[in-house]
Structures are given as structure tokens and as C-alpha cells.
Amino acid sequence: MSETDAVSRVDRTQEGAVAVLTVNNVKRRNAFSPEIRAELVGHLNDIETDDATRAIVITGAGGTFSAGGDLSTMQDMTAFEGRNRIRAGRQTVETMARGEKPIIAAVEGFAFGAGLSLALLADWIVVADDATFCASFGKVGLMGDMGLFWTLPQRVKAGKAKRMLMLADVVAADEALEIGLVEAIAPKGQALSAALKKAQAFAEAAPLPNRLTREALAHFPAGLDDMLAYESQGQGILFTSADTTEGLNAFFEKRKPVFQGN
């Protein structure tokens, strides 16, 4: 095992109903190695089966979200090795995008390359006021991956998406908020605490509608007929759920509902 492999990991902690996943590869500014991708997917799959967890926060250790892919693991790859690497990245994307539980990203420092891709797979992104973003793939002769061509155009206008993808524009936190790349800004060092607060709000929301909403939005940009079909199917299920009964009863009884995910 190499030194890089030994220090590359994803730590999991629990804050009530919120699971916190921390990419911890500080020596390489939390660059993604194949091992980190595999660990991240493993944690996400475990969380999906944990009924006590209602939301997920993803962050990076040491004041950096992620500087991108670990370039030291990309040298001298064959075409087949490159294809297998992208397949592993696709597994990460599909696990995050199609999972049932809301994901909040807490970004400090850099979110470059695959780090940007990872952050944009979240439902809510809170960033430190000194955070910066860059689709830096072109600087090493690559193009965006890990779902970036799907997530980025959902958040920013086409012209800005093209400049980020083709010119590797660096976007500071205030501009990121202005153009809709992120949802909130926190003071430096406080992105995680702000993300946990928002994650708790997601955790207290009705889980079944959130699950079906994420499932429908994962088909973006589907046509009107497809989206109406997703709405009909999902809402039909929800009308018969115990959580909808609880929500309606709480409304009429003028109390806060307690959703169980049933």
C-alpha cells in the first residue's frame, strides 16, 4: 500500500439524524483517489439503509473541500484504465443523484475539478466566504466529469457554464451565490456548522416526498409528459402513506408533524 492510499479515507460521524462524511486526504488537499471514491460510495450505500439517518452532509478536512482528482493516479493510464476510472466516477454520481436522502455540501477553501462536481451533486451548498470554485479539468487536458455537464447547467446560465467548463473560470464565493452556483455563504471555518443546521431542517422534513422529489429531479431535463408521469406516480403513493395522514392531522390539530418515513 502506498503512502497516498494509507492516508486517503472518508470519515463518517453522526450528528443526530444527520450523517457527516468528511473527505480526509489533507496532504493532497482532499484530492480524489479511486480509494476515496470507493469509500464514499460505501458510506452512502450504508446510509441509505439506515432509517435513523435522514440527511447527509459532505465536507472536506483541513479547510479544503477538494482540489479535484488525484493527478498522481492518472499518469500513464491506458484507454481501458481511463474508462474504468470514469465508470467508478459514474457510480459515485449515480449513488448521490439517485439516493433517497438529501445531501448538503459544506465547502471550505477549494472546490476544484472533481471537487466541484462532487459539491454540485448536493441538494444544498453552503460555502465559506473565502471558498473558490473551478472546473479545472482543461488545465490538464481533460473535460468535466462526475456529472458536471448535468449539474452545472441546472445551476447557472448556459454562457457561464460554458466559460467555467471551457476556460476554467475561478468563481469566488460571492459570485457563486450571485449566479446560483451555491445557496448560502458562511464565515470562514463555519460552513460545516451552517450545513448541519440546514441538514437538520431537511432531516425534519417529510422523507417520502423528498425521496420521490429527488427521484423525479434525477431525470432532468425530462419533457413535460415524463415529469407529469413522475408527479402522478409519486403523489399517488404519498396519498396512501402514514406520513401524509400525520401531516394532515397535524395541520388540522395546529401542531408540528412528526414524520416517520412510512
For the chain, how many structural domains are there in total? Answer: 2
Residue 216 domain flag: yes
Output the average pLDDT for the chain: 90
What pLDDT, on a 0 to 100 scale, did the predictor assign at position 158? 93
Average pLDDT rounded to a whole number, residues 2-10:
56
Domain limits for position 148: 3-204
Average pLDDT rounded to a whole number, residues 238-261:
88
Average pLDDT rounded to a whole number, residues 196-224:
89
What pLDDT, on a 0 to 100 scale, did the predictor assign at position 84? 78
Q: In this structure, what C-alpha cell is assigned to residue 110? A: 477549494
The whole model's pTM is what?
A: 0.88
Closest CA to 190 of 259, 119, 128, 241: 128
- Kindly tell me if the per-residue pLDDT of 235 is higher than 50: yes
The three-point CA angle 70-49-99 to 5° equals 55
Same domain (yes/no): 57, 122 = yes
CA 133/CA 170 separation, integer angstroms: 6
CA 116/CA 174 separation, integer angstroms: 16
Closest CA to 139 of 50, 190, 51, 69: 69
Same domain (yes/no): 116, 165 = yes
- CATH code assigned at 93: 3.90.226.10
Report phi then psi at 102, rounded to 5: -60, 145
What pLDDT, on a 0 to 100 scale, did the predictor assign at position 5? 44
Percentage of residues in the chain having pLDDT higher than 70: 96
Reported as a single tens digit per residue, the pLDDT across 116-173 is 999 999 999 999 999 999 999 998 888 898 999 999 999 999 999 999 999 999 999 9
